[in-house]
């Protein structure tokens, strides 16, 4: 619900449990008055007492007698060069060559529903009753640049989204040097900043640090959201835990260069801005042209980090993931990569399929190595035609389907090998800049998908495969960062538009794919989890979480990923890694989409029996894991010895609890306290006659001292409500 108090000049945006309040100050300055737990009050102008001018802070010429200064005010969308010396949300270079920007309130519009963002991924609603939207139009009176701030408020979850649409209504060209999607000013620095850093095979590692005076935050300049940082951050009230305390969550629906920057000024107050990274970004706006920023997602919870995560999970499950596979049960797959790498042929993969069928697996995925002359990683990216010396794809696909399995295939559409027919024919299609020799990474270049002719060629090659063979699943990989980032079609004036145009090109390709083949199950990948972001989830319902399939290493990766992203999006497989037994491998992989990365023909009979049991459990617990609420009971960043998590059905009638002993610690007694149950209900532990109240399980806990007491041990406990 969105209300506007005409007399008080205040916008009040309400989700079921939160309020976001914006005020129009004198001279059309837009201020953020409050964001947090839902309030019945609409008039919050008394908070303006914190806006008095500090020494050396310039004052607005008209408001100078009042002592008001934008340098200490909670600006809703702060501009560059007009006296606010904190990090800005927007800067536009005008015809005079300076970047002074001054946006003032002009008008507003409130309407039911949520508009689409053409060319960009975004949260959506299926009917207008699910959401209300506010558009606030600001205008720079000198340049006639307008900025339309677009807020959407969801009625079924505590989520507010923001983005900005810029239009040059002037008569002279402008250059956007900075165009953030969102800004939030908070009247305190009493928070810890939580982010997710990492590298290849060690993605989304949890880090928490107190805010300090100055700048802090995360960014990517790699051309993708990256392994190194994720476009997610949280501000947790000092002392907030997994279950208690105020937490603000921030996530950018974008897969390219981003930044989330926090600044604590001399106040001390905290400003958080989020959007496209300003490094190597410049966008030309000719008169009449527009530019739309990516969408930013905002969450507030007064129930700690767990409460924040569950809001994100439900919102993304219901309002981000689309298409057939949003709710439909997905097939359990086996991938050929760790089983065979490049060393496979038709008969070997058919043998894999026969054994997979016996185990109950439903989908065989043929990974890298099926195209061009691809027998190693030095050649053929871009040549998306069948390597007939190695493979009879028609016979393979028919054989797999005759067994009753589905068939999947691997592509890396945004890459090109220097040793490829496509590169020899079109060397200018490689991402490059004049006068520089392109750098190699993983023996490959990046292909310029900012160009429509390149996209047409790549998509045409993909269609030639998908139209002629019955393909049920496609894995889309992206295996290097961008360097020498430029396009032969962009002149010097538009060269710094390349990174964003590249991302838009990727979105266009994936949009074409999902629209043309709506039944295709698409899984994104980027050397594992190098592009695990909500932008990718708009096109694919699941993403390969990491190339690291070691179950103990996976725990930190999956716990970190779960801060923002639901279990249904997390590709997780059992592999031949010998760090733990198959029971623990399966228990860890069950927290995700579930599948296998191994040679099924090499399994002994005991392991086959274990796999069959895991397959049965996948089907049994699928709905609980994919639609239930996640509770992180013991986090690996809090406890180096063990971790635990649970899924609770939305009706609180069922819970699946998993505990993993990472390193055994001698102890006499260990009671694991559950969460999310109904304290009045009684729950029976599967396989026993033990019955507990929900209150006992949550407040006293269940004894697990002797159930997982060796390194690498794990257990599952399944409780159902009775009576």
CATH of the domain at 679: 2.60.40.1180
Domain-terminating residue out of 611, 627, 643 = 627
Looking at the structure, do residues 413 and 299 belong to the same domain, yes or no?
no
Does residue 415 form part of some domain? yes
Residues 6+ apart with CB under 8 A from 624: 647, 649, 654, 655, 656
Instruction: Please tell me the predicted confidence (pLDDT) of residue 64.
Output: 76
How many Å apart are CA 90 and CA 93, to the nearest integer? 10
Distances (CA, A) of 375 to 350, 439, 478: 19, 22, 19
pLDDT classification of 327: cutoffs 50, 70, 90: very high
Does residue 470 form part of some domain? yes
Looking at the structure, do residues 511 and 596 belong to the same domain, yes or no?
yes
Question: How do beta strands 283-285 and 642-648 pair?
Answer: unpaired
305 three-state secondary structure: helix
Instruction: Please tell me the predicted confidence (pLDDT) of residue 63.
Output: 79
Cβ of 209: how many Cβ atoms within 10 Å?
10
Looking at the structure, do residues 617 and 675 belong to the same domain, yes or no?
no
For range 226-248, the mean pLDDT? 98
How is residue 329 written in tokens? 């049960």
Does residue 422 form part of some domain? yes
How is residue 470 written in tokens? 């019955």
Instruction: Please tell me the predicted confidence (pLDDT) of residue 638.
Output: 95
Please give the share of the chain, as a percent, with pLDDT higher than 70.
98
Looking at the structure, do residues 296 and 344 belong to the same domain, yes or no?
no
Instruction: Please tell me the predicted confidence (pLDDT) of residue 48.
Output: 63
Residue 343: give its domain's CATH number: 3.20.20.70
How many Å apart are CA 624 and CA 460, to the nearest integer? 40
Tell me if 177 sits within 8 A of 92, measured CB to CB.
yes
Q: b/e for 369-381, b at 16 or more Cβ within 10 A?
A: bbbbbbeebebbb
Residue 253: give its domain's CATH number: 2.70.98.60
**Closest among 647, 648, 715, 644 to 681, alpha carbons compared:** 648
Q: Over 60: is that where the pLDDT of 608 sits?
A: yes
Looking at the structure, do residues 291 and 335 belong to the same domain, yes or no?
no
Cα torsion at 427, 430, 435, 440 (round to 10°)? -110
Q: Which of 38-42, 48-52, 579-583, 649-653 shows the lowest mean pLDDT across its residues?
A: 48-52
Residue-range definition of the domain harbouring residue 240: 2-319
Instruction: Please tell me the predicted confidence (pLDDT) of residue 710.
Output: 83
Tell me if 520 sits within 8 A of 512, measured CB to CB.
no
Looking at the structure, do residues 638 and 701 belong to the same domain, yes or no?
yes
How many Å apart are CA 5 and CA 9, to the nearest integer? 5
How is residue 311 written in tokens? 């809001």
Instruction: Please tell me the predicted confidence (pLDDT) of residue 664.
Output: 78
Domain-terminating residue out of 627, 658, 686 = 627
Looking at the structure, do residues 362 and 238 belong to the same domain, yes or no?
no
Domain-terminating residue out of 319, 338, 371 = 319
Does residue 299 form part of some domain? yes
Helix 582-589 with 551-561: angle, nearest 10 deg = 10
First CA to last CA distance, the chain:
39
How many Å apart are CA 590 and CA 573, to the nearest integer? 8
Looking at the structure, do residues 558 and 469 belong to the same domain, yes or no?
yes
Residues 6+ apart with CB under 8 A from 87: 78, 215, 261, 263, 271, 273
Looking at the structure, do residues 39 and 180 belong to the same domain, yes or no?
yes
How is residue 358 written in tokens? 């016996």
- The angle subtended at Cα 524 by Cα 519 and Cα 526, nearest 5°, is 165
Residues 6+ apart with CB under 8 A from 423: 382, 416, 417, 429, 430, 445
For range 379-387, the mean pLDDT? 98
Radius of gyration of the chain (CA): 27
SS3 content of the chain, % helix, strand, coil (to 5): 25, 35, 45
How many Å apart are CA 44 and CA 25, to the nearest integer? 12
Q: Over 90: is that where the pLDDT of 247 sits?
A: yes
Q: Over 70: is that where the pLDDT of 52 sits?
A: no
Looking at the structure, do residues 41 and 167 belong to the same domain, yes or no?
yes
Distances (CA, A) of 449 to 263, 452, 459, 485: 35, 7, 11, 12
How many Å apart are CA 353 and CA 395, to the nearest integer? 13
Q: What is the pLDDT of residues 132-149, one digit of tens each?
A: 999 999 999 999 999 999
Looking at the structure, do residues 622 and 493 belong to the same domain, yes or no?
yes
| Sheet with 682-685, side-by-side order of all strands | 629-634, 642-648, 654-661, 714-722, 682-685, 691-693
For range 623-652, the mean pLDDT? 97
616 three-state secondary structure: helix
Q: Over 60: is that where the pLDDT of 172 sits?
A: yes
How many Å apart are CA 623 and CA 644, to the nearest integer? 20
Looking at the structure, do residues 510 and 658 belong to the same domain, yes or no?
no
Does residue 94 form part of some domain? yes
Q: Which carries the bigger pLDDT value, residue 52 or residue 179?
A: 179
Positions annotated as catalytic residues are 477, 547
Distances (CA, A) of 562 to 168, 568, 717: 40, 10, 20
Q: What is the pLDDT of residues 427-469, one digit of tens each?
A: 999 999 999 999 999 999 999 999 999 999 999 999 999 999 9
Does residue 324 form part of some domain? no
For range 313-342, the mean pLDDT? 98
How many Å apart are CA 221 and CA 482, to the nearest integer? 9
How many Å apart are CA 98 and CA 120, to the nearest integer? 30
For range 62-75, the mean pLDDT? 85
What does pLDDT average to over the chain?
A: 96
Number of structural domains (the chain) is: 3
pLDDT classification of 667: cutoffs 50, 70, 90: low
Does residue 232 form part of some domain? yes
Q: What is the pLDDT of residues 109-118, one digit of tens each?
A: 999 999 999 9
Does residue 325 form part of some domain? no
pLDDT classification of 473: cutoffs 50, 70, 90: very high
């Amino acid at each position: 619900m969105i209300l506007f108090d005409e007399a008080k000049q205040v916008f009040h945006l309400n989700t079921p449990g939160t309020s976001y309040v914006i005020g129009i100050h004198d001279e059309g300055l837009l201020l953020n008055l409050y964001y947090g737990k839902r309030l019945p009050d609409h008039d919050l102008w008394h908070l303006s007492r914190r806006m008095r001018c500090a020494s050396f802070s310039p004052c607005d010429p008209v408001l100078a007698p009042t002592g008001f200064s934008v340098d200490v005010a909670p600006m809703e969308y702060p501009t560059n060069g007009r006296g606010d010396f904190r990090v800005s949300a927007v800067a536009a270079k005008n015809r005079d060559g300076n970047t002074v920007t001054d946006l003032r309130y002009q008008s507003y519009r409130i309407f039911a529903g949520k508009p689409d963002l053409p060319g960009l991924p975004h949260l959506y609603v299926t009917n207008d009753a699910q959401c209300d939207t506010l558009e606030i139009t600001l205008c720079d009176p000198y340049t006639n640049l307008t900025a339309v701030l677009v807020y959407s408020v969801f009625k079924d979850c505590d989520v507010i989204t923001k983005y900005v649409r810029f239009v040059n209504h002037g008569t002279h060209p402008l250059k956007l040097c900075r165009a953030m999607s969102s800004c939030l000013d908070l009247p305190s620095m009493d928070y810890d900043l939580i982010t997710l850093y990492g590298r290849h095979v060690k993605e989304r590692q949890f880090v928490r640090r107190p805010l300090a005076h100055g700048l802090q935050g995360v960014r990517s300049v790699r051309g993708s959201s990256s392994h190194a940082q994720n476009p997610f951050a949280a501000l947790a009230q000092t002392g907030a835990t997994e279950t208690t305390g105020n937490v603000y969550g921030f996530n950018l629906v974008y897969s390219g260069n981003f930044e989330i920057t926090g600044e604590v000024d001399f106040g001390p107050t905290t400003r958080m801005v989020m959007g496209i990274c300003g490094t190597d970004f410049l966008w030309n706006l000719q008169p009449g042209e527009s530019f739309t920023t990516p969408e930013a997602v905002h969450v507030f919870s007064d129930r700690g980090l767990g409460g924040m995560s569950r809001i994100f999970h439900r919102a993304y499950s219901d309002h981000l993931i689309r298409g057939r596979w949003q709710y439909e049960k997905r097939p359990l797959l086996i991938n050929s990569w760790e089983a065979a790498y490049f060393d496979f042929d038709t008969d070997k993969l058919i043998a894999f399929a026969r054994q997979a069928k016996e185990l109950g697996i439903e989908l065989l995925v043929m990974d890298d190595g099926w195209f061009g002359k691809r027998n190693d990683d030095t050649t053929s990216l871009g040549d998306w035609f069948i390597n007939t010396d190695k493979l009879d794809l028609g016979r393979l696909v028919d054989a797999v389907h005759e067994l009753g399995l589905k068939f999947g295939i691997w592509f890396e559409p945004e890459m090109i090998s220097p040793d490829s027919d496509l590169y020899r024919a079109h060397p200018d299609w490689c991402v490059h800049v004049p006068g520089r020799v392109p750098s190699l990474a993983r023996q490959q270049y990046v292909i310029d998908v900012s160009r429509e002719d390149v996209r047409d060629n790549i998509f045409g090659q993909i269609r030639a495969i998908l139209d002629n063979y019955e393909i049920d699943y496609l894995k889309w990989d992206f295996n290097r960062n961008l360097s020498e980032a430029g396009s032969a079609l962009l002149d010097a004036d538009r060269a710094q538009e390349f990174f964003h145009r590249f991302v838009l090109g990727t979105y266009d390709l994936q949009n074409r794919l999902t629209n043309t083949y709506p039944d295709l199950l698409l899984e994104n990948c980027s050397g594992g989890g190098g592009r695990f972001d909500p932008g990718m989830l708009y096109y694919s319902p699941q993403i390969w979480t990491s190339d690291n399939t070691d179950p103990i290493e996976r725990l930190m990766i999956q716990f970190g990923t779960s801060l923002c992203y639901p279990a249904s999006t997390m590709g997780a497989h059992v592999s031949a890694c010998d760090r733990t037994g198959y029971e623990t491998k399966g228990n860890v992989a069950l927290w995700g989409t579930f599948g296998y990365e191994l040679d099924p023909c090499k399994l002994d009979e005991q392991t086959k029996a274990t796999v069959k049991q895991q397959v049965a459990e996948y089907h049994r617990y699928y709905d609980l894991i994919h639609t239930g609420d996640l509770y992180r009971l013991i986090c690996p960043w809090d406890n180096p010895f063990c971790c635990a998590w649970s899924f609770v059905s939305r009706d609180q009638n069922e819970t699946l609890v998993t505990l993993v002993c990472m390193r055994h610690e001698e102890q006499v007694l260990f009671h694991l306290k559950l969460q999310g149950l109904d304290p009045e209900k009684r729950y029976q532990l599967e396989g026993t006659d033990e019955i507990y109240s929900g209150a006992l399980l949550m407040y006293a806990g269940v004894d697990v001292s002797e159930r997982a007491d060796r390194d690498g041990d794990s257990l599952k406990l399944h409780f159902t409500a009775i009576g």
